[in-house]
Amino acid sequence: TAQVAALLAEAVANHFDPSVVALVQGGASTAQELLQLPFDHIFFTGGAKIGRQVMLAAATQLIPVTLELGGKNPCIVLDDANLEITARRIAWGKFFNAGQTCVAPDYVLATAGIRKPLEEAIKAAVESFFGSDPSLSASYGRLVNQAQFDRLEALLEGTQLLSGGQRDRKTLYFAPTLVSAELSQPIMQEEIFGPLLPFLEVADLASAIALVNEGEHPLAIYLFSQNREAQELLLNSSQSGGVVLNDVVVQAAFSTLPFGGVGASGMGRGHGRHGFETFSNLRSILKRGFQLDLPFRYPPYGNRLSWLRRFLD
């Protein structure tokens, strides 16, 4: 992350006038200083805790904000899903960048008939992607820092390990890890943002939707099912920033789709034209001439008052 930030800073300085685009590197104190400046709009990407602080700082200056906050994105898998493709897509989306993306599947809700086969299929997909030892794979990433490593390690406590779990704090390696979890456990109480994938079993889609609706609205909901009625039920019975049917993560790549959250997962939209409109001020301009100035708009109105009220309505 630090290397990418340095590269971006160099590229921006080389290609943009600083009065047009400026990139400032820094941590929390730098961000707090920036929030004291009278910007026209603030777009923040991060967690809900810091998002609240950003919104509070912006409110003191009445600066509009767009917040993209992530959240616990559920991945619901029903018995009729294509097992091999579903497993491959979930494994790719979850372990891309070692799980450190806001749209990564956070946990799996699977019906009884497919849960165990799905677990085995995801294990097989992980091995096909990264080999028997992902630490040796050039295609598998590392955690951003030791604080995140420690946070993820703590989330493992109390869960039942299904696969993976190998880790090295010094190198920030954390293997793709599948676990069986309970709703009351810490791993199900906060956004994971790492390569840990909890599995929970549900009776049916209605039970899965009810479970999702008990929590905060997620940035994305993923449903794997070929049943159109199931797809419609999810769309009509849940709230989220977005929904993807039979895939994960790819919605973020389409510039034609508005991207953002709802409730605790954020507010406002970006990407493509939607991002352009977010950063634009839609100013209304009305121009009149002096040639026509009808007297009936001016008082006294007399019996024209009822007509004027209809006109203003």
| Active-site residue set | 68, 102
Both tokens assigned to 126:
């992980």
d(Cα 204, Cα 197) in Å, to the nearest integer? 20
Q: What is the 3-state secondary structure (H, E, C) of 32-79?
A: HHHCCCCCCCEEEECCHHHHHHHHHHHHCCCCCEEEECCCCCEEEECC
Both tokens assigned to 306:
């009822």
H helix and E strand count, the chain: 10, 12
Question: How far lies 294's CA from each of 290, 297, 305, 306, 313, in Å?
Answer: 11, 7, 15, 17, 19
Strands of the sheet containing 42-45, edge to edge, are 42-45, 65-68, 266-267
Strands of the sheet containing 160-163, edge to edge, are 160-163, 177-180, 196-202, 107-111, 74-77, 220-224, 242-245
d(Cα 82, Cα 48) in Å, to the nearest integer? 34
CB-based contacts of 136: which residues, under 8 Å, 6+ apart?
none
Beta bridge partners of 151: none
189 alpha carbon, distance to own chain's centre: 16
d(Cα 18, Cα 209) in Å, to the nearest integer? 48
Q: Which of 233, 187, 244, 168 is nearest to 206 (CA)?
A: 233
Compute, in degrees rounded to 10, the torsion defined by CA atoms 111, 116, 121, 124. Answer: 150
